[in-house]
């Protein structure tokens, strides 16, 4: 050691002797390094000793923030288009139910009137019913629209043939309900296309999202590399990672068991 270094050492040693016992007790580990070693040679305590939490690098955080800024409007558009599609489907279904009720009521009243007035069976054919009056089994929306069209047109043809117009409900009552059902049905395809486009825009972000997930996982593994594997998995679960036990592998406890209490 050089002379100057010896003098510095002596000076520092004298200062240490003059300090109080309390200061010596409160001196932290590796405090000697701040006196005798250059800054770049001083030992560093691990993150675990410093009490720092595992972290993701700033570069990865910046990339995540950039991705989220671009992804958020796409996701919001997806939720809007999904809500819009649900609204259009709901309105179409409500119009379908109403039209179906009117069509079936019309047929039932038609059969009772034909029986009451002793009208011939061919009158039923004007309205799309067979001669025995069997109600058609309507299973699709298009079939329902076709049946309503036959009722409206058939009532005009029956009146032209000398039969009285139907009432309760009348064909005139069915016309606006039929028109509304067509309008509501025509709104659904556009809502479907908008929702499909929004889904495609979100799906296109999947590769970039997967890369960010890999970067986050790599950063966590690096910051947790000195910890035991169970601790790594426990912490990484807080970041959304999922670990699945292999077949026959015992399940990992969800939380460490507390130590036994000391004897009284």
DSSP string, 90-156: HHHHHHHHHHHHHHHHHHHHHHHHHHHTT--THHHHHTT--TT-PPP---SHHHHHHHHHHHHHHHH
State yes or no: pLDDT of 32 exceeds 70: no
Nearest-10 Cα torsion for 22, 24, 29, 32: 150
Question: Among 53-62, 97-106, 212-221, which range has the highest average pLDDT?
Answer: 97-106
* pLDDT score of 47: 44
More confident residue, 43 or 142: 142
* pLDDT score of 240: 84
* pLDDT score of 242: 87
Measure the CA–CA gap between 169 and 109, rounded to whole angstroms.
Answer: 8
Q: How many residues does the chain have?
A: 264
CA separation, residue 129 to residues 19, 111, 145, 156, 170 (Å) = 110, 9, 15, 16, 16
Per-residue pLDDT tens over the stretch 36-95: 334 444 434 444 444 445 578 999 999 999 999 999 999 999 999 999 999 999 999 999
Q: What is the pTM of this model?
A: 0.64
Measure the CA–CA gap between 24 and 18, rounded to whole angstroms.
Answer: 10
Identify the weakest region by mean pLDDT among 27-36, 112-121, 124-133. Answer: 27-36
Q: How confident is the model at residue 26 (pLDDT cuts 50, 70, 90)?
A: very low
Q: For the residues 149-160, what does the mean pLDDT come to? A: 96
State yes or no: pLDDT of 209 exceeds 90: yes
Identify the weakest region by mean pLDDT among 59-73, 93-107, 218-232. Answer: 218-232
Radius of gyration of the chain (CA): 41
More confident residue, 251 or 255: 251
Across the chain, what does the average pLDDT equal? 82
More confident residue, 64 or 254: 64
Hey, is 62 helix, strand or coil? helix
Q: For the residues 238-252, what does the mean pLDDT come to? A: 81
Share of the chain above pLDDT 70, in %: 76
Which position has the token pair 């486009």?
197
> Token pair for residue 220?
């966590």
Q: For the residues 207-236, what does the mean pLDDT come to? A: 90
Identify the weakest region by mean pLDDT among 50-59, 68-77, 134-143, 201-210. Answer: 50-59
State yes or no: pLDDT of 232 exceeds 90: no
Which position has the token pair 């009532």?
155
Q: How confident is the model at residue 22 (pLDDT cuts 50, 70, 90)?
A: very low
Measure the CA–CA gap between 138 and 106, rounded to whole angstroms.
Answer: 14
* pLDDT score of 89: 97
**Structural contact between residues 184 and 88, judged by C-beta atoms closer than 8 angstroms:** yes
Identify the weakest region by mean pLDDT among 40-44, 57-61, 158-162, 236-240. Answer: 40-44
More confident residue, 47 or 126: 126
**Structural contact between residues 256 and 228, judged by C-beta atoms closer than 8 angstroms:** no
Contacts of 25 (CB under 8 A, 6+ apart): none
CA separation, residue 122 to residues 87, 97, 101, 146, 169 (Å) = 42, 28, 24, 20, 20
């Amino acid at each position: 050691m050089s002379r100057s270094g010896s003098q510095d050492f002596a000076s520092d040693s004298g200062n240490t002797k003059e300090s109080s016992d309390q200061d010596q007790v409160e001196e932290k580990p590796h405090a000697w390094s701040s006196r005798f070693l250059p800054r770049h040679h001083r030992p560093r305590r691990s993150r675990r000793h410093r009490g720092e939490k595992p972290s993701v690098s700033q570069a990865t955080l910046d990339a995540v923030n950039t991705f989220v800024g671009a992804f958020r409007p796409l996701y919001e558009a997806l939720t809007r288009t999904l809500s819009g599609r649900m609204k259009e489907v709901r309105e179409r279904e409500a119009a379908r139910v109403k039209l179906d009720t009117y069509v079936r009521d019309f047929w039932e009243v038609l059969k009772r009137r034909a029986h009451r007035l002793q009208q011939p069976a061919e009158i039923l054919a004007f309205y799309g019913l067979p001669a025995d009056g069997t109600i058609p089994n309507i299973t699709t929306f298009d079939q329902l629209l076709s049946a309503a069209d036959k009722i409206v047109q058939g009532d005009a043809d029956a009146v032209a043939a000398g039969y009285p117009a139907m009432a309760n409900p009348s064909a005139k009552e069915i016309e606006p309900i039929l028109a509304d059902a067509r309008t509501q049905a025509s709104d659904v395809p556009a809502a479907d296309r908008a929702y499909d486009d929004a889904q495609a825009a979100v799906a296109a972000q999947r590769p970039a999202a997967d890369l960010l997930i890999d970067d986050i996982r790599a950063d966590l593994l690096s910051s947790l590399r000195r910890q035991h594997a169970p601790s790594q998995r426990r912490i990484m679960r807080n970041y959304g990672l999922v670990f699945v036990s292999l077949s026959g592998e015992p399940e990992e406890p969800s939380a460490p068991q507390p130590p036994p209490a000391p004897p009284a």
